């Protein structure tokens, strides 16, 4: 898994460097959670968002990324402090973290397909793409991502002399899943996820682009769908930056005098945290309806009911 759980932290890292890293990550994390809470509150407060499949999928992506960061940031702090956990607990945490990490790409593919369905089947969309049944697609995405995460752990070579339950270990993916077979499987799954999602986004974009030349009416909605699919492609590129960390770490180590743990932190912050922060910000503020309701909620606050007073 290309996330924080692979960062090689050194126990001899200076205290000043550790404090700086914590002070950089925590404010970003708090701002992200605050903005996500505001967007989810907006979704829950207005029924028409929950009646639209596009917004339901977007809310699902927000919840998924929130879970992923709520796991990875505490693991970041524990990795700095060299904290150890029982191996069975670490396996559960890493499985959930890996699943949510991969699930983001699948949700992007589902959102692109939803735009395709909305353009080509506007009156009678397939049953699973309706807002009241979109949960079935979300459940399939979770099961799909969990299957690969569990498979990655199960293909490791078991040591009969190792007691998996009480053994305390560093909760890092390269420690738990350290066999060469798992490394090959992890790389193959990364390529698979990227290829499938990229093909789906490219297919929907080309189909909608060809449709714009045929339609003479309602070009505005088709153009919006085209821009939305382009945005999903940009979000995919942001998510795929996490897979470049082996190359960027090698380049930084060869051409700079940075410590290994500093290079790893730079990759984690720039290629994992920042894309997770930018994705909901870009998508949320681009949507006019969502931006309008967020502005009202942020400026005016929640609506208060005024109780009528009775005069004698």
Alpha helices, DSSP H only, in 177-310?
180-214, 219-240, 245-255, 260-268, 274-286, 288-300
Q: Could you tell me the two tokens for 88? A: 């069975």
Between the CA atoms of 200, 202, 207 and 209, what dihedral angle is there, to the nearest 10 degrees?
Answer: 150
The residues facing 85 across adjacent strands are 169
pLDDT at 163: 56
Q: What is the pLDDT of residue 157?
A: 64
pLDDT of residue 305: 45
Range 49-73 burial, b when 16+ CB lie within 10 A, else e: beebbbbbbbbbbbebbbebbebbb
User: Which is higher by pLDDT, 173 or 202?
Assistant: 202
Give me Rg for the CA atoms of the chain: 22
5-34 burial, b at 16+ Cβ within 10 Å, e below that, comes to bbbebeeebeeeebeebeeebeebbeebee
What whole-number percentage of the chain has pLDDT above 90? Answer: 2
What is the tens place of the pLDDT at every residue in 40-89?
A: 888 888 878 888 888 888 888 889 988 888 888 888 778 777 778 888 88
Mean pLDDT of 120-139: 83
Mean per-residue pLDDT over the chain, rounded: 76
Asked whether 294 and 242 are in contact (CB, 8 A), the reply is: no
Give CATH for domain 4-292. 1.20.1070.10
Each as own residue / partner, the long-range contacts of residues 261-268 (CB below 8 Å, 24 or more positions apart, any chain) are: 261/7, 261/8, 261/9, 261/10, 261/13, 261/17, 262/17, 264/6, 264/7, 264/8, 264/9, 265/7, 265/21, 267/7, 268/3, 268/4, 268/7, 268/76
pLDDT digits (tens, 9 = 90+) for 1-30: 445 545 555 544 456 677 777 888 888 888
pTM for the model stands at: 0.80
Q: What is the pLDDT of residues 227-267, one digit of tens each?
A: 777 777 777 777 776 666 666 667 776 777 777 777 777 77
Q: Is the predicted pLDDT of residue 299 greater than 80, yes or no?
A: no
Tell me the HSE value of 269 on the side-chain side, using a 13 A CA sphere. Answer: 15
- Where do the domains of the chain lie? 4-292
Cα dihedral sign, 77-3-242-226: negative
């Amino acid at each position: 898994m290309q996330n924080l759980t692979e960062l090689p932290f050194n126990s001899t890292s200076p205290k000043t460097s550790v404090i700086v890293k914590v002070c950089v990550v925590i404010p970003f994390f708090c701002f992200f959670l605050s903005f996500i809470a505001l967007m989810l509150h907006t979704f829950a407060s207005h029924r028409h968002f929950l009646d639209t499949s596009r917004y339901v999928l977007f809310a699902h992506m927000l919840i998924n990324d929130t879970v992923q960061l709520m796991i990875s940031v505490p693991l970041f702090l524990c990795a700095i402090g060299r904290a150890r956990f029982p191996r069975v607990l670490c396996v559960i945490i890493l499985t959930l973290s890996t699943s949510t990490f991969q699930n983001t790409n699948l949700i992007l593919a589902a959102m692109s397909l939803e735009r395709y369905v909305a353009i080509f089947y506007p009156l009678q969309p397939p049953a699973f793409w309706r807002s009241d049944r979109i949960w079935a697609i979300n459940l399939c995405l979770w099961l799909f991502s969990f299957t690969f995460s569990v498979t990655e752990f199960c293909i490791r070579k078991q040591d009969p002399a190792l007691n998996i339950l009480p053994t305390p270990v560093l909760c890092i993916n390269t420690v738990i899943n350290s066999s060469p077979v798992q490394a090959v499987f992890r790389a193959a799954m990364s390529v698979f996820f990227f290829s499938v999602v990229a093909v789906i986004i490219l297919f929907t974009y080309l189909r909608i682009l060809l449709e714009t030349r045929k339609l003479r009416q309602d070009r505005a909605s088709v153009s919006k769908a085209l821009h939305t699919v382009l945005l999903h492609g940009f979000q995919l590129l942001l998510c795929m930056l996490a897979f470049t960390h082996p190359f960027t770490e090698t380049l930084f180590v060869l051409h700079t005098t940075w410590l290994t743990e500093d290079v790893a932190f730079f990759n984690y912050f720039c290629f994992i945290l920042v894309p997770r922060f930018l994705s909901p910000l870009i998508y949320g503020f681009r949507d006019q309806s969502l931006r309008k309701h967020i502005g009202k909620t942020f400026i005016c606050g929640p609506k208060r009911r005024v109780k009528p007073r009775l005069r004698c």
